[in-house]
Structure 1
Amino acid sequence: MAKIFRYAAALLAACLAVGSVMVRPAGLAMMLPGMHTGSAFKMAAEHRYLVVSPEVREELAIPFEGPVMANGPLARSAREASGETGIPARLLWAIAMHESSLHAWTVGVAGRPHYFRDREQARMFLASLPRNANFDIGPMQINSFWVRRLNVNATSLLDPTTNFTIAARILRKEFHRYGKNWKALAAYHAGGGCITPRGRQYAQEVLELYQGL
């Protein structure tokens, strides 16, 4: 699939516009048959695409930012969290890119992300989950383990600034525990300080995004 996107980028490199969508030489990311919306955003980020097709934008609506870190609401939230904790804003951005495709009102359940058009829809979905459900919230997909461990109101994590700030505090704690290496990122991903076999791959994917920003 990555080859398809590279070929598409090469084909569109000389174009300044495709239909109603303006693109730069980096190319256009589009939905392919069977592709999940989040996967399309992730592919766009990994291959430095600067825009996505109307179909993707329509499904996720606002607030979409990225993959370039500019000065939108989510980027400002990431920088504010960085200022408080010392965690690089670009690292927070890379994690959010990987976790939620930079969509503020994302709730993940059993590994499947649910994207909502506004905070109220996301809040209602959260309220409908079983009491002991395992879920992830917001742009940084903070796991319910941390919600309970830190005694945080789950709905408050639908606020991007709160979400980035709590996530940055968790990351800071894991960096103190493991040092500035892949294990800290793996522990953040797993929740509860655990490191799973998937953790190393996750950390590598995040760092690749981080290095490309």
Structure 2
Amino acid sequence: MSVTAATSSTGPSPYPNVLQSRQTTAEQRQIAAAAVLAYRGTLEQENALLVENGALLSEDEAKRLQRRVDDQAAANAAAAQLRDRACEVVSSVQDDERREEGCTIDIFHAACDGDVAALDACVRSGVSINAIGQPDPARYNGVQFKQRWLFRAPPLVFAAAFGREEAVRFLLAHGADSHATSTTGLRARDYAVGRGYDAIVRMLASGVPQ
């Protein structure tokens, strides 16, 4: 019996996993859930085929197979519960920060979150749309990060890396350089290609919002 494992992403990652994980989209969560269900379904199909073909499992083998099905179902439920709780915590922290700081966030933070209104406010206040930097760790994720990390990039790279289509569209419309690179030498398009954000890849290839 062989089970094909899901291929892990090899695309460039601008952030530590803990920061990237809180930015997963609904589509990505649906894909992950579908993969788990497909794996569980495969186990059940294998059991059914064995019975159909008269290849009866021993009692121990049947128990092991059922245990795998049950463990996968339990893992799926636990992951969903943990994800929902994490979202609640992040939302609470963000709400508190917004109340205390009047929704003032830097352009890099806004690009990561796809917050077009905040991007517009930054541009209107005179912030360079092609500035190289990073979100303020204390304000972006103060609970987990207390110091800066080495990665820096223009807002367009952050928006593309997190799949923020509306933010990418806004930045391009306001003159963002699609060829600007991060400190690792990668462009926004490189991150979008590596993560399968096709709509963003097309926008960046043309250099104009679509």
TM-score of the aligned structures, taking structure 2 as reference length:
0.30
Q: Which has the higher helix share?
A: 2
Is the radius of gyration larger for structure 1 or structure 2? 2
